[in-house]
Amino acid sequence: MQRSREVQEPCWNCRDKHLKCDKQTPKCGRCEAKNLDCVVVSKRQIFRQGSTAHFSEDQHWVNSRPKRARLRVHDTGGSVVSNVQFDPSIGHTDHGPSSIPPTSPTTQHSSEPFNFFDFTASENQRLHALAITACEADQLAHNISSLTGPLFREDESPQDSVTSEFSSQLLDISDPRFPAHALSVSRSPEQIGHRDSSEGTNSFSGPVQSGYSPTSTSSDSALEPFESVQEACLLRYFIEELSPWFDVCDDRRHFQVEVPYRARHCPPLRNAIYAVASRHLSRLPQYRTSKGPKYKGQVLPHLSTSTAVEYMLKCIPALIDFHKICDREYQENIMAAAVILRQYEEIEEEEEIDSSTGARDQQPVNFLAIIQAIIETTASIPTHHSFANAVFWIAIRQEIYYALAMQRFPRMTPDQDKRQGASAANKLILFAGDVTRWWLGDRSPLDWAVLKEKLHSITKELMPEFVPILDNKADKSKGEIFSTVWYCSSAQVFGAQHYEIARMMLIAENPNIRNDPHCRIAHRKVEAQVRSIVLNICGIGLSHQNFSPALVNAVISIILYGEYFTDPREREALEAVIEKTKAIHAWPMRKLHHAVKAKWEFIDSEDY
* Cα separation, 11 vs 22, whole angstroms: 9
CA-based end-to-end distance of the chain: 87
* Average pLDDT value for residue range 13-17: 83
Range of weakest confidence among 95-104, 363-372, 407-416, 595-604: 95-104
Single-letter amino acid, residue 406: M
Q: Examine residue 26 and say whether the peptide bond preceding it is cis (omega within 30 degrees of 0).
A: yes
* Cα separation, 259 vs 262, whole angstroms: 5
* Cα separation, 156 vs 260, whole angstroms: 26
Between residues 57 and 324, the one the model is more confident about: 324
Instruction: Give the residue among 244, 237, 283, 296 at the shortest CA–CA distance from 544.
Output: 244
Contact 304, 282 (CB under 8 A): yes
pLDDT(208) > 70: no
pLDDT of residue 243: 94
Range of weakest confidence among 46-60, 80-94, 358-372, 544-558: 80-94
Ranges of each domain in the chain: 3-34, 117-377+387-399, 423-604
Q: What is the dihedral of CA 500, 501, 505, 507, to 10 degrees?
A: 10
Task: Tell me what percent of the chain is helix, strand and coil, each rounded to the nearest 5.
Answer: 50, 5, 45
* Cα separation, 265 vs 273, whole angstroms: 13
* Average pLDDT value for residue range 326-352: 81
Position 254 confidence tier, pLDDT thresholds 50, 70, 90: very high
pLDDT(44) > 70: no
* Cα separation, 192 vs 214, whole angstroms: 10
* Cα separation, 28 vs 55, whole angstroms: 48
329: left (phi over 0), alpha (psi -120 to 50) or beta: alpha
* Average pLDDT value for residue range 3-24: 79
pLDDT(13) > 90: no
* Average pLDDT value for residue range 442-446: 93
Instruction: Give the residue among 260, 280, 254, 373 at the shortest CA–CA distance from 321.
Output: 373
Tell me the range of 96-100, 194-198, 242-246, 529-533 where mean pLDDT is highest.
529-533
* Average pLDDT value for residue range 564-580: 94
* Cα separation, 233 vs 313, whole angstroms: 20
Instruction: Give the residue among 500, 337, 349, 339 at the shortest CA–CA distance from 412.
Output: 339
DSSP line for 145-166: HHH---SS-TT--TTS----GG
Q: Report phi then psi at 486, rounded to 5.
A: -115, 140
Contact 413, 395 (CB under 8 A): no
Contact 491, 248 (CB under 8 A): yes
pLDDT(259) > 90: yes
pLDDT(361) > 70: no
Position 177 confidence tier, pLDDT thresholds 50, 70, 90: very low
pLDDT of residue 490: 93
* Cα separation, 170 vs 116, whole angstroms: 8
* Cα separation, 409 vs 431, whole angstroms: 15
Between residues 275 and 186, the one the model is more confident about: 275
Instruction: Give the residue among 353, 311, 315, 361 at the shortest CA–CA distance from 335.
Output: 315
Between residues 447 and 582, the one the model is more confident about: 447
Percentage of the chain exceeding pLDDT 70: 66
* Residue 353, SS3 per DSSP: strand
Position 585 confidence tier, pLDDT thresholds 50, 70, 90: confident
pLDDT, one tens digit per residue, over 283-308 is 888 999 999 999 999 999 999 888 99
Single-letter amino acid, residue 17: K
pLDDT, one tens digit per residue, over 411-440 is 887 888 888 888 999 999 999 999 999 999
Report the interhelical angle of 267-283 vs 254-263 (nearest 10°): 120
pLDDT of residue 67: 52
pLDDT(461) > 90: yes
Max CA distance (Å), the chain? 112
* Average pLDDT value for residue range 181-195: 37
